[in-house]
Structure 1
Amino acid sequence: MTITERTELIRRFADDFTALQEAVLARMNGICAPEIAAALEHASLAGPITIALAHADVLARGAVRRAELSAQPPERLRRLRAHARRVRQARSQAEAVCKEQRARCLVGRSRPVDMLELRVARMASPASFAEALRQELRARGLPDGTPQAPESDLAQWVWDRKAAGGEPPAPVRELRDCDDDAFVQALLRDAREEENPYLPHDAVVERWSRHARAALAWGRYAIGQAERDVLACAPSVRRTRLDALDDAYQDTAVLAARSREALLRVTELHDRMWACVTTGPFAELIAQCRAAALARFADAEPELWHGVRELTVRHQAHCPEQADGCPRCHRALAALLTDVHPADTGEDGDGEHPTATVPADVDRYAVLADLPDTAVVAVADAAVGDESALCGYGWAAEDGTTGYGDSLASSSGEAEVIGICAAALSLLEHHEDAPVVLLCDSVEAVDSTLRSADPTVAHRTLLFPESRQLMDRLLRHRHRVQVRWLKGHIGHDLNETADAFARLALRRATGRIPPSAARKEEVRILRSLGSGAGPLSAAA
């Protein structure tokens, strides 16, 4: 193959998604022509290959699921599962290659390091430095001062000036200005109806990447609903509903591919932004603004500036990285000036919610020491699958009551919230006056539940109507309910029972366990709980 022919082949794969996917799958199966295999190694195709395999991965899992639900012969099912495993492995390998290629591109491309005094001052008193920078920018007639001016947005401001070429096209403005729900609907139309050529525009591509996961979750939601419809009817009359399940997988495959494409396009945008703000006249302008802002900072904060100067001079006399500008030393130095540990990341400020950093040797039952004797305590857990949004949840209470069920969730965190809400509502119904305490091993779910009486705030981490409706019902009783964190998978009886029920609920919801076997499994779980060490409060 000549160089021209190879170049043409690479260009064809870059422009023709179907041809690229067929070639990638042929290479995966070992039946690819040598010249095609060589073309696929070209660096420019590393990203497109991950897009093609993201699409193929969803379709392969969809084929397996259809075979499972349509009673295909075991041999065919084995072949489909083997193919799905190969596609998943090929996808992982392609993403690793893409990541490695990206790392090579970043070598030697670090942004010039600001002088140490500037970085220490900026971190020791960010508000003061930001105000000094605002004043400098205003004095130069640059941005107007409010949110464009602070240090964190200088790069974006420079890019906006570089890219300014008049107003973007009307469809881009519409995508830029619509609310989040409308934007996600646009992403769903892009996948299900017609590709939107305006999504890669610089003005909206970051928003596209940010909301692509939500759109993909709605694809999995459609799969979950289609699965439920299939399982609700006898195998002999499933043909039409299986076709609907195929359609849902097709749409979700496109959503997965477009999500990956959005990520690659954002990476490319950031590369262009980096080049813009680190080279040429804009880089010089930013350096001048920062240096002048530091002088303003020194005038406004003379005592702090004196401390910064004294500390940095002493530090640079002995630092082994002094020749490189001490690129990683400013955090620790700023911490010495402010008496804040450099690893501190801040708190929510309410002090009510435990975090995942609870030391392992802390008594896991101490969280209940402040509860009244009348409190009803239960543990909730959830399980999610890979293919669809179907999830299972389960819970077990100190008084011996248990429950489990299934729903639809966009993430494991949302599934955990569903489990918490379902357990709390059931316990509230059977205990009219007692306070109810739900323990959960998901920090995300603990932080998302009952933090505000405003339903719109509670809905921000919940995507699907099922979880939002449960949360709305629970918010009416928030004065009687507490949600706390409990370290999971440490052998606690109620936690293990809730986990077992959640996994059983997911298997039942996806038809992977027949009703008779599910009843036997439920009895086994309850017997296991009955032979345990006793309720949570007794163990304390």
Structure 2
Amino acid sequence: MKTTEHTELIRRFADDFTALQEAVLSQMNGVCAPETAAALEHASLVGPVTVVLAHADVLARGAVRRAELSVQPPERLRQLRAHARRVRRARSQAETRYKEERARRLGRRSRPVDPLEWRVARTAFTSAFHETLRQELRDRGLPDGTPQAPESDLAQWAWDRRTAGGELPAPVRALRDCDDDAFVEALLRDAREEENPYLPHDAVVERWSRHARAAQAWGRYAIGRAERDVLACPLSARRTRLDALDDAYQDTAVLAARSREALLRVTDLHDRMRTDVTTGPFAELLGQCRAAALARFAAAEPAAWRGVCELVARHRVDCPEQTDGCPHCHHALAAVLADAPPADTDDDGEHSAAVPADADRYALLTDLPDTAVVAVADAAAGDESALSGYGWAAEDGTTGHGDSFASSSGEAEVIGVCAAALSLLERHEHAPVVVLCDSTEAVGVVEAVLRSGDPAASHRTLLFPESRQLMDSLVRHRHRHRVQVRWLKGHIGHDLNETADALARLALRRATGRIPPSAARREETRIVRSLGSGAGRLPAAA
């Protein structure tokens, strides 16, 4: 194949989404022409291939779901499931290849290595050194922050100065300035109606990527509602509603592809920002700030600085990496100065957050009055649609379960907590109610709302109207101080926890039509009966 033809084919795949997807799927199925396979290996297509496979993955799962709900012949269903597995496998492989290609691209870039003394001082005496750097930045009229790209205010400041050449187009300003709900609506219109050419603009692309997950959640919400409509009618009358389910999967496939595209564009933006802060005038400014901060540190902490210099001098005598600037040696040297084992660090040398020693704690119930009613709530979130199930079991022997819509496992868990609390508040008019849950996110959200009395405190987690209505109902009881929510370590053998989990999974299977009603009733009876006499009060350290 001629070079010009090969280049033209690559260009065509880069510009034509449909052509690229057809080529990728034909390669996946082993029927790809050699010249097409060669073009698909080009580095410029590594990212776009992940986009088309994100789209194909949702469509493949949608085809399986339609076949399940329309009772297709077993052989047809097996074929569709096998295709969906192949697409999922190809998507995983494409994502891996993209990460490897990106790592190679970053590895080829020469990144200046800071002086070893600077890195050792920063790592061993983090607080003191960062204070000197902050002082230096303030004296120069620069924003606070460590000069790491693209996360810090200083890097963002430099990028904004470099790119502030002209006025933003009006549609870009509108996207930048609108509230979050309006921005998500714009993403939904982009997927369902007409592609928005302004989303990739540097001024809004990070916001696009940040809110793409919320837009995808609304796509899954549409799938869940369509799925529920299909299951509500007999097989003979499902044709129209199955078409609506297809439409919901089509929209969600576009949302998945656009979400992946947003991530690729943000990655490209961050790469350009990194280049900007490691080369040219801004890199020189950073070097001056660091050198001045180091001088400030040496003057403020002379004993510490002397220890750094002496240790580095001894180290350089026989270090095999000395010619490369000892790029990784500062961790061990800083540990010697701190008289502690090397701390876990990220790629930029910053300290990772330590895991607290009591992270594996349990819910302590020793402070509860004897009149308190204690229950455990759990939830099960679906993979393909927003349908979710919840279940709860209480010490008084009562249980409950049901289904709703959730954008995440956290939202599903909050639904379970609210449903359990509201049911027990109604059943026990004066007793305090304590609901345990193994989701730290859900516990934090409900606690924040009960403490503040403002349901809006939960809106970052609660996306859908069903969960927000439950939270609004629960917050009305806060003035009586009758509701508490606490964290409980999950799946450690407690009867109430296991019962709640089993009921949540049963509710999800029933909501998605994966268990017949008669079998669901038998399963519910078995779960509740297995709780039986074991539903006594939880131990003091549960």
TM-score under structure 2 normalisation?
0.89
Match of 1:42 in 2: 42
Name the CA shift for 1:307/1:440 in 2 (closer, same or farther; >3 Å): farther
Name the CA shift for 1:116/1:481 in 2 (closer, same or farther; >3 Å): farther
Match of 2:348 in 1: none
Name the CA shift for 1:204/1:338 in 2 (closer, same or farther; >3 Å): farther
Kindly state the Cα deviation for residue 506 of structure 1 after the two structures are TM-superposed: 0.3
Could you tell me whether the CA contact under 8 Å between 1:191 and 1:254 is conserved in 2?
yes
Could you tell me whether the CA contact under 8 Å between 1:385 and 1:391 is conserved in 2?
yes
Q: Does 2:396 match 1:399?
A: yes
Matching residue within 136, 139, 144 for 2:139 = 136
Kindly state the Cα deviation for residue 325 of structure 1 after the two structures are TM-superposed: 4.8
CA distance in 2 between counterparts of 1:192 and 1:357 reads 48
Kindly state the Cα deviation for residue 66 of structure 1 after the two structures are TM-superposed: 1.0
Q: Which amino acid letter does the alignment assign opposite residue 401 of structure 1?
A: T
Question: Per the alignment, in what secondary structure is the counterpart of residue 316 of structure 1?
Answer: helix
Equivalent residues in 2 for 1:151-162 (5 A)?
152-162=152-162
Match of 1:426 in 2: 423
The Cα RMSD (Å) is 2.9
Q: Which amino acid letter does the alignment assign opposite residue 390 of structure 1?
A: L
Kindly state the Cα deviation for residue 518 of structure 1 after the two structures are TM-superposed: 0.5
CA distance in 2 between counterparts of 1:127 and 1:282 reads 19
Q: Does 2:479 match 1:476?
A: no
Kindly state the Cα deviation for residue 165 of structure 1 after the two structures are TM-superposed: 1.8
Matching residue within 309, 313, 326 for 2:309 = 313
Kindly state the Cα deviation for residue 91 of structure 1 after the two structures are TM-superposed: 0.6
Give the % identical residues. Answer: 72
CA distance in 1 between counterparts of 2:60 and 2:262 reads 22
CA distance in 2 between counterparts of 1:516 and 1:336 reads 69
Question: Per the alignment, in what secondary structure is the counterpart of residue 379 of structure 2?
Answer: strand
**CA deviation vs aligned residue, 1:138-195 (integer Å, no higher than 9, x gap):** 2xxxx5x579999932222222222222122111111111111111111111101100
Could you tell me whether the CA contact under 8 Å between 1:356 and 1:443 is conserved in 2?
no
107-116 or 46-55: bigger deviation: 107-116
Kindly state the Cα deviation for residue 277 of structure 1 after the two structures are TM-superposed: 1.3
Kindly state the Cα deviation for residue 293 of structure 1 after the two structures are TM-superposed: 4.1
Unaligned runs of 5+ in 2: 345-350
Kindly state the Cα deviation for residue 273 of structure 1 after the two structures are TM-superposed: 1.2
114-123 or 52-61: bigger deviation: 114-123
Equivalent residues in 2 for 1:236-247 (5 A)?
236-247=236-247
Could you tell me whether the CA contact under 8 Å between 1:132 and 1:294 is conserved in 2?
no
CA distance in 1 between counterparts of 2:175 and 2:535 reads 57
Kindly state the Cα deviation for residue 313 of structure 1 after the two structures are TM-superposed: 2.2
Match of 2:70 in 1: 70
Could you tell me whether the CA contact under 8 Å between 2:374 and 2:433 is conserved in 1?
yes
Equivalent residues in 2 for 1:339-418 (5 A)?
358=358, 364=362, 367-418=364-415
Match of 1:167 in 2: 167
Match of 2:15 in 1: 15
Could you tell me whether the CA contact under 8 Å between 2:366 and 2:540 is conserved in 1?
no
Match of 1:515 in 2: 517
Name the CA shift for 1:315/1:436 in 2 (closer, same or farther; >3 Å): farther
Kindly state the Cα deviation for residue 440 of structure 1 after the two structures are TM-superposed: 1.2
Could you tell me whether the CA contact under 8 Å between 1:113 and 1:327 is conserved in 2?
no
**CA deviation vs aligned residue, 1:53-76 (integer Å, no higher than 9, x gap):** 000000111111111111222221
Name the CA shift for 1:508/1:456 in 2 (closer, same or farther; >3 Å): same
CA distance in 2 between counterparts of 1:238 and 1:356 reads 53
CA distance in 1 between counterparts of 2:79 and 2:311 reads 64
CA distance in 2 between counterparts of 1:89 and 1:513 reads 28
CA distance in 2 between counterparts of 1:446 and 1:195 reads 39
512-521 or 459-468: bigger deviation: 459-468
Could you tell me whether the CA contact under 8 Å between 2:54 and 2:253 is conserved in 1?
yes
Match of 2:262 in 1: 262
Equivalent residues in 2 for 1:439-518 (5 A)?
439-451=436-448, 452-453=451-452, 454-478=454-478, 479-518=481-520
CA distance in 2 between counterparts of 1:44 and 1:449 reads 46
Question: Per the alignment, in what secondary structure is the counterpart of residue 176 of structure 2?
Answer: helix
Could you tell me whether the CA contact under 8 Å between 2:378 and 2:391 is conserved in 1?
yes
CA distance in 2 between counterparts of 1:415 and 1:132 reads 46
Kindly state the Cα deviation for residue 198 of structure 1 after the two structures are TM-superposed: 0.7
Could you tell me whether the CA contact under 8 Å between 2:10 and 2:42 is conserved in 1?
yes
Kindly state the Cα deviation for residue 419 of structure 1 after the two structures are TM-superposed: 0.6
Could you tell me whether the CA contact under 8 Å between 2:371 and 2:431 is conserved in 1?
yes
Q: Which amino acid letter does the alignment assign opposite residue 510 of structure 1?
A: T
Question: Per the alignment, in what secondary structure is the counterpart of residue 132 of structure 2?
Answer: helix
Q: Which amino acid letter does the alignment assign opposite residue 102 of structure 1?
A: R
Question: Per the alignment, in what secondary structure is the counterpart of residue 539 of structure 2?
Answer: helix
Could you tell me whether the CA contact under 8 Å between 1:124 and 1:335 is conserved in 2?
no
Name the CA shift for 1:284/1:58 in 2 (closer, same or farther; >3 Å): same
Match of 1:226 in 2: 226
**CA deviation vs aligned residue, 1:16-64 (integer Å, no higher than 9, x gap):** 0000101111111111111111111111111111100000000111111
Q: Which amino acid letter does the alignment assign opposite residue 135 of structure 2?
A: A
CA distance in 2 between counterparts of 1:329 and 1:492 reads 47
Equivalent residues in 2 for 1:247-258 (5 A)?
247-258=247-258
Name the CA shift for 1:278/1:196 in 2 (closer, same or farther; >3 Å): same
Could you tell me whether the CA contact under 8 Å between 2:396 and 2:536 is conserved in 1?
no
Kindly state the Cα deviation for residue 307 of structure 1 after the two structures are TM-superposed: 4.4
CA distance in 1 between counterparts of 2:208 and 2:332 reads 33
Name the CA shift for 1:340/1:94 in 2 (closer, same or farther; >3 Å): closer
